[in-house]
Amino acid sequence: MSMISEQVKDLREYAQCKAFPQPTRQIFLEAADTIEALSAKLAAANMERSDMIRRNKLIEEISKEIDGGIVKDTYSKGKNAGLRKAKILTEEKIEAHYGGGWQPISEYSRDKYDWVLIKYFDGEEECVPQVAELRSDGKWHVSTDFDGDFVIPPHFDVRYFFDMQQLDRS
């Protein structure tokens, strides 16, 4: 048992002790609740920090791995081409490493997924993600409250999807 757990346990026992007046017992309970809540927040922050450190290490590794390709694209296609390629390659490798999240559109199956969030592009420019469904006509259909239903035009390149049912599991 950790020191914090022991302190919380002691405070809860003091709160049950009839030798203390009721207001004092209430303070013991509130202190125990506060310590537990702060301990949980600290644990969550430590986990988030660990995830961030792992993500930063991965980004550093990826950057080293793709550096040659970026330099090559920068010289052959201009400065922004190299930066765009870096963004795309980095996102793809991070998503592949972490799993879940955005998945390559090649992994989409109408048998497995219904409505999903898609990332699509106009050339190299990323468009605003949309909730869409791939129907039997082979086209991505989007339904919005503002614009009504529409089909993603064929000149746009749908590259990624996100299974929104994952949100229900978290």
In this model, does residue 158 exceed pLDDT 90? yes
Contact 14, 34 (CB under 8 A): no
- CA–CA distance, 112 with 166 (Å, rounded to integer): 13
In this model, does residue 128 exceed pLDDT 80? no
Provide the pLDDT for residue 163. 80
- pLDDT tier at 85, thresholds 50, 70, 90: low
| Model confidence, pTM | 0.41
